[in-house]
Amino acid sequence: MNMNNCVRWGIVGTGDIANKFARAVTNAQGAKPVAVASRRAETARAFADTYGIEYSFGSYEELMAFDGVDAVYIALPHKYHVPYTEKFLRAGKHVLCEKPIAVSAGELERLQAVAAEKNLFVMEAMWTRFLPVMSEIKKVIADGKIGDVLEVSADFCYNNPDHSHHAFAGDGDGGSVLDVGIYGLNFALMFLGEDVQRVQAMARMENNADLNMNALLQFKSGAMARVSSALALDKPQLGYIYGSRGHICVPAFYGASEFDVVVDGETVTHTAPFKGNGFEEEIEEACRCILAGKAQSSIMPLTCSMTVLKLMDEIRGQLGIVCHAE
């Protein structure tokens, strides 16, 4: 592809999620992986060799100074998202940042100001919103198959035996809400809107982190949502959308490629596979926006990220979580 029609990407970090991005970006239309940065030069070089990436750097600052990339994907632990998003923006790079893009609404406000100042594209990498299955679900709802949507539930829970993982951090940047609860909140808002009137949350806490959490949300329309998340509890990872005539079940809703529509006891399965590992669609949207000179995506604008962050602020406040910035 002609480089004039291609976004040159740098990858910030070399962990599991960075590997998933690297596999996807090679398949994504309008994207080319050019560079990777890690804290150690040998780690970056090994990652680059694995994916056929030309340039590797042993510090994030070297990538900031490199003029061979147009955009970066930030795949660092939560507490580094805001500082490095801001640094790369100030270095003139567009940014796709792994979720959560910030750990509080106040932090995101700071990023919004920097992005506006630099006139650069920024998007939170909430891949769920870009999955083809989500568009198909919206079509089924728009066609009235399940009637009026009255309630949504979403459970993203798993049992991680590695308590040294950053999700267990007690500095306010850990916990299941930030790690996986964010998916359930996005799922609820996709089908119920963003006008949440009331939130009630409870959790099992340890070391200033929520190990498993349940939240109830009520919307201005009267519709409700129940979202649960966990780092140390296994539950079926299901999303449900309940309507006045029937319901939709979405297995592994955060990365789904199919869903069931149940009306009058009859089940119809719909399939809508994603391109590769599920990251391609969000990468292609970022590329389209960057190449078109857009500052934000209409599918995942920063206003959506802000709404979810404000909900997480409220939930975490009710749980008594003390954040690092406080």
Q: What is the pLDDT of residue 102?
A: 97
Q: Which of 54-58, 196-200, 243-247, 322-326 has the lowest mean pLDDT?
A: 322-326
Tell me what pLDDT residue 2 has. 39
* pLDDT tens digits along 262-300: 999 999 999 999 999 999 999 999 999 999 999 999 999
Give per-residue pLDDT as tens, 226-246.
999 999 999 999 999 999 999
Report whether pLDDT(1) > 80.
no
pTM: 0.95
Catalytic residues: 99
Rounded Cα–Cα distance for residues 239 and 72 (Å): 31
326: pLDDT confidence band, cut at 50, 70 and 90?
Answer: very low
CATH homologous superfamily of 129-278+308-318 equals: Dihydrodipicolinate Reductase; domain 2 (3.30.360.10)
Tell me how far apart the alpha carbons of residues 324 and 81 are, in angstroms, rounded to a whole number.
Answer: 14
Tens-place pLDDT, residues 150-200: 999 999 999 999 999 989 989 889 999 999 999 999 999 999 999 999 999
Q: What is the CATH number of domain 3-127?
A: 3.40.50.720
Interatomic CA distance for residues 251 and 154, integer angstroms: 10
- Cis peptide bond N-terminal to 100, omega within 30: yes
pLDDT at 324: 63
pLDDT tens, 66-100?
999 999 999 999 999 999 999 999 999 999 999 99
Tokens describing residue 278: 């599920």
pLDDT band at 323 (very low <50, low <70, confident <90, very high): confident
Residue of 241, 237, 251, 227 whose CA lies nearest to 308: 227
CA distances from 291 to 61, 67, 70, 104, 308 (A): 25, 17, 10, 29, 27
The chain-wide mean pLDDT, for the chain, equals 96
8 Å CB contact between 302 and 109: no
Confidence check: pLDDT of 3 > 90: no
Main-chain dihedrals φ then ψ at residue 109, nearest 5 degrees:
-60, -40
Domain boundaries, the chain: 3-127, 129-278+308-318
- The β-bridge relationship of strands 209-219 and 224-230 is antiparallel
Cβ neighbours of 125 (radius 10 Å): 23
